Amino acid sequence: MSDSDDLLRAKQKLSMNLDQWARFRQMPGRVQDLFIAADYFQHPDSPFDIAEILIDEPAVWQKTDQYYISLLLNGQQARPMELQLGEGRFHRANQPGSMIFSDGMRDKIFLGRGPYQVISLAIDRRHLNSRISELYGGTPDDLTALMTSPHFDAVCEQHIKGLMAICRRPGNLLAKDDLLDTIIGRFWAKTGRAAKRDGDAQVKSIRTAALEDVLDYMKLNLGRDLGRDELARIAQVSPGHFSRLFSAKIGQSPTRHLLTLRLERAQELLKQEIHLSVIEISRICGFSDQANFYHAFRHHVGCSPAKFRESR
């Protein structure tokens, strides 16, 4: 299968209305004209937006208050792209898996010919700076080391693709928050800076009473898309440390525990509330996607919701 065939399939798959994408609307017309197709995902309360883009050639527009991670999925040209991200020029081969990290406030130069198929992850500047400070004791100056060359990291590549896949489905705020931190951590490791020792963390544990409040809050709000910052406030710990501290106490991540609670509640409703349909129960338990509910239920219980209800 040729690269051209892959790009044609990408064009057919990416079908969202670009005019509804906030990042696209901020671009000048000459840059908008380079976009062939895209799927994008944004949330007003989220510190990031992510898009899979098919673009005719690389483009630079006005400065923005964001950091960008670009993952190349496919590039038709054999000649590498030449880049200058504020720390000297380098070349990025048109090789799938190639990633670049850039600062939206710096002057940049992109020279090359497309089309290119990329996943573009834009992270709010204050959010990322806060995360690296809180988790690793880092500063924005530490990030300049990431802007001197392309990066290849098969694990990080899968995390970025995974974040894109999760964002294609509604909900899953907790999973998105944790995956974003994982991606930030992979890039932080590439700076070569030492991370904080565990003993440097201000909070080493969630208080028992606060943890009980979090668990009760989860049970009372199974139908809502709960975010990590919301749960961290109840736990009275920083969002950056919440998932790690929760996992240490409970033995599973907040995302996994919330899923377990939702599936346990679904089993109760399937047995007790026979007037409710399976679709209604999936929504009550916080599954906005019915296919995702069926898959998770079968994986957790070993049979479909309908079969479970029949065997009660």
Q: Which residues contact 288 (CB under 8 A, 6 or more apart)?
A: 169, 170, 171, 225
Return the structure tokens found at 140.
């924005």
103 or 43: which leads in pLDDT: 103
At 279, is the pLDDT very low, low, confident or very high (cuts 50, 70, 90)? Answer: very high
Q: Computed from CA positions of residues 279, 281, 283, 289, in that sequence, does the dihedral angle turn out positive or negative? A: negative
In 10-108 the beta strands, taken as DSSP E runs, fall at 35-41, 48-55, 66-75, 81-84, 89-92, 99-103
Task: Find the mean pLDDT for residues 178-192.
Answer: 92
In terms of phi and psi (left: phi > 0; alpha: psi -120 to 50; beta: otherwise), the region of 283 is alpha
**pLDDT (average), residues 215-238:** 92
Q: Is the pLDDT of residue 236 over 50?
A: yes
The confidence band for 115, taking pLDDT boundaries of 50, 70 and 90, is: confident
- Please give the CATH superfamily to which domain 257-310 belongs: Homeodomain-like (1.10.10.60)
Retrieve residue 196's tokens: 């904080």
> Quick one: pLDDT at residue 58?
79
Specify the DSSP class assigned to residue 78.
Answer: S
* Residue 303 to residue 253: CA distance in whole angstroms: 24
Tell me, which fold does domain 3-190 have in CATH? Answer: Jelly Rolls (2.60.120)
Residue with more model confidence, 154 or 206: 154
257-310 has the same fold as 198-251: yes
- Label each residue of 260-290 as H, E or C: HHHHHHHHHHHHHCCCCCHHHHHHHCCCCCH
CA distance 127 to 36: 30
Q: How far apart are CA 100 and CA 50, in angstroms?
A: 15
> For the ranges 14-28, 120-134, 270-284, which has the lowest average pLDDT?
14-28
Three-state SS at 192: coil
The whole-angstrom separation of Cα 30 and Cα 57 is 12
Residue where the block lists tokens 């483009």? 59
Of 57, 46, 7, nearest to 23 (Cα)? 46
Q: Residue ranges per domain, the chain?
A: 3-190, 198-251, 257-310
CB 244 within 8 A of CB 282: no
The structure tokens 């081969």 sit at: 93
Per-residue confidence band for 30, with pLDDT thresholds at 50, 70 and 90: confident
The predicted-structure confidence for 42-91, as pLDDT tens digits, reads as follows 877 789 999 999 988 877 777 889 999 999 998 776 688 888 888 888 88
Kind plus residue range of the DSSP H or E element containing 124 = strand 116-124
Q: What is the DSSP letter of 293?
A: H
pLDDT of residue 283: 92
How many CB atoms sit inside 10 A of residue 169's CB?
14
Phi, psi of 245 (to 5 degrees): -70, -40
CATH number of 198-251, picked from 3.30.70, 1.25.40, 1.10.10, 1.10.3470: 1.10.10
Cα–Cα dist 9/103, whole Å: 31
Mean pLDDT of the chain: 87
Cis amide prior to 96 (ω within 30 degrees): no
